[in-house]
Structure 1
Amino acid sequence: MADKTKNGYTSVKTNTDNGDRPATKRSTKIAVWSLLIFNVLLLVALLSLVIGWREYRKKSLTPHEQTICLNCTEMGLDGKEIPEEMAGKITRDTNGNSKEWVCCGYTSDVLNWMVTKAIQDRGTSIKSSIYPLISKECKKTTQAKPSAQVTGISVSGMEKEQTDVIQWNTTESSFMGEGITYKNGRLTIKQPGYYYIFSQIKLRNIPLSYSTSDVSASETLPNHWNHYIFHVSSENGKEQKILESSKSRCEMPSLGDETTSSFGAVFYLAENDEVFVNTSHPQYLAPCEEGNHFGLYMT
């Protein structure tokens, strides 16, 4: 509707439909809630997919024991009935059109049954490939390898021999197997091969023939003590130092102090080769059994 004003202009009155506003607000709310619900559902679906994928991946990565199928006769299952102890562990079925029975189960269950059956039926006609491993006809293939360890220094032996080669106490338990003998501080090899040779000695910074009160000045003590293992070739009798260790006097600052020297390594030894232990100052050895030993064993 138009009205004239004093200035000759025409004013136009616009009518606004206030009834449309509530409907617009409701539509907006419905759209917002729909989007919200849709996003929630989408999030739930995404979480479900993630959880499902993780469970699937976990199952796929979990190791599963393999199944093995063999002729029932080879398993020792000749009858049609599965033994009670194997019920639920091994299944039986015919092999296609043939009349042979095939037994299947987890590898561990099958092997456990075959071993048990083979032990129970020793001497029978079981054809299992693992039966010879436990058959009474099997022969022992492993033998004790040569080894020796002498423990404790023989002071009387060293005084008697008047040598720098360390003399050792020996007993029947010092040797295992065959192929190693002892004489005058030396171990002789009878069976060639690779041997781990080892030694340990305990040193005291005061000579055996002295007491602490007899040593008045530390200058009389050596600056260091050396520990050796020598090898004597059976071909030419040549002595060769193969291992060496050195201990400084600084490690034993007070009179009567003790220190331990030990080492070991693998060497090839021929038949009739000899090895022995030596030290630069044998008079400073502490002849106790728990701190001194010498030995070797075939690897």
Structure 2
Amino acid sequence: FMDPAKKSEPERRPTSHLTIKRSKYSYNSTLQLLTSWEDNLGLAHASNMTYKDGKLKIHQDGFYYVYTNICFRHHETSGRNDLTGKGIQLMLYMYHQKVTGSKPRYLMKGGSTKYWSSHTEHNFYCIYQGGIFKLKSGDEIFLKISYASLLDQSQEASYFGAFKLRDLE
């Protein structure tokens, strides 16, 4: 049963799609928090969610589809010849920080050990993750990756977001 008074109001379901901003990241295998995201230019938007310091904050309890795509790129002329011929572990972790302040936990992780060829001009690898999670108002989601200096910093290649599917029961 739908209340006729609410029928005229458009539903303001929370959605976001954040795209990577150009930034300098250090070169090492240590996991680094991705802190430079765009939330309102180009392909990016955030509605009924907020973004700050690398974290996307949820404002309504519910079940959300949360997703990310992160691409790594290495060009032979980059001066990083130490990356070719040996395995490097390219990893992506999505974290969930509960509003209660408990320790952040993994929502998803993915990656691979890549052996990039010195016989190829461009080396490229992407990781996509997506899943449905129960999130509460005040919860935050964020990403950490290894070898952040290899991040493909184009809005079509590296992004993350969420949208609410339905309310909690």
Same fold (TM over 0.5): yes
Report the Cα offset of residue 237 of structure 1.
3.4
- 2:95 match: 230
Q: In the alignment, is residue 164 of structure 1 matched against residue 164 of structure 2?
A: no
Which residue is equivalent to 2:144? 278
CA distance in 2, matches of 1:193, 1:213: 44
User: Which SS does the other structure have where 1:205 is aligned?
Assistant: strand
- The SS at the match of 1:290 is coil
> Secondary structure of 2:92's match?
strand
Aligned to 1:150: 18
Superposed counterparts of 1:125-140, under 5 Å: 139-140=7-8
Instruction: Count residues with an aligned counterpart.
Output: 154
Residue 219 and residue 174 in structure 1: after superposition, are their counterparts in 2 closer, same or farther (change >3 A)? same
Deviations 1:110-164 (A, max 9, x none): xxxxxxxxxxxxxxxxxxxxxxx9xx978336513101111133315x68xxx81
Ranges in structure 1 where 5+ consecutive residues have no aligned partner = 1-132
Residue type of the partner of 1:294?
A: F
Q: Counterparts of 1:248-263 in structure 2 under 5 Å?
A: 248-250=113-115, 252-253=116-117, 254=120, 256-263=122-129
Does the CA-based 8 Å contact 1:147-1:175 persist in structure 2?
yes
Distance across 1 between alignment mates of 2:114 and 2:10 = 47
Deviations 1:46-68 (A, max 9, x none): xxxxxxxxxxxxxxxxxxxxxxx
TM-score by length of 1: 0.46
Task: Return the offset for 1:244.
Answer: 0.8
Show the 5 A alignment for 1:216-227.
Answer: 216-218=81-83, 222-227=87-92
In the alignment, which of 50, 60, 82 is matched to residue 191 of structure 1?
60
**Superposed displacement of residue 249, structure 1:** 1.2
- Which residue in the other structure is 1:202 paired with? 71
Q: Which residue of 1 aligns with 2:133?
A: 267
- The residue identity in structure 2 corresponding to 1:153 is K
- For 1:290 and 1:169, locate their aligned partners in 2 and report how far apart those are by CA, in whole Å: 12
3-state SS of the aligned residue for 2:122?
coil
RMSD between superposed Cα atoms in Å: 2.8
How is 1:1-12 mapped onto 2 (pairs within 5 angstroms)? none
Q: Show structure 2 runs of 5+ residues with no match.
A: none
Matched residue SS, 2:125: strand
Amino acid at match of 1:288: S
Q: CA deviation at 1:228?
A: 1.2
Specify the code of the residue in structure 2 equivalent to 1:298: K
Q: Which residue number corresponds to residue 291 of structure 1?
A: 157
Deviation, 1:220, is 8.0
The code of the aligned residue for 1:256 comes to H
State the structure with more CA Rg.
1
SS of residue in 2 equivalent to 1:212: helix
Evaluate the alpha carbon distance shift between residue 259 and residue 142 of structure 1 in structure 2; reply closer, same or farther with a 3 A threshold. Answer: same
Alpha-carbon shift at residue 236 of structure 1 (Å): 2.6
Cα displacement string for residues 179-238 of structure 1 (whole angstroms, at most 9, x for unaligned residues): x100011001111111100000110136xxxx6262344468652200111111111331
Q: How far 1:270 moved relative to its partner?
A: 1.2
Q: Quick one: percent identity of the two aligned structures?
A: 21
Is residue 175 from structure 1 mapped to residue 46 from structure 2 by the alignment? yes
- Greater share of residues in helix: 1
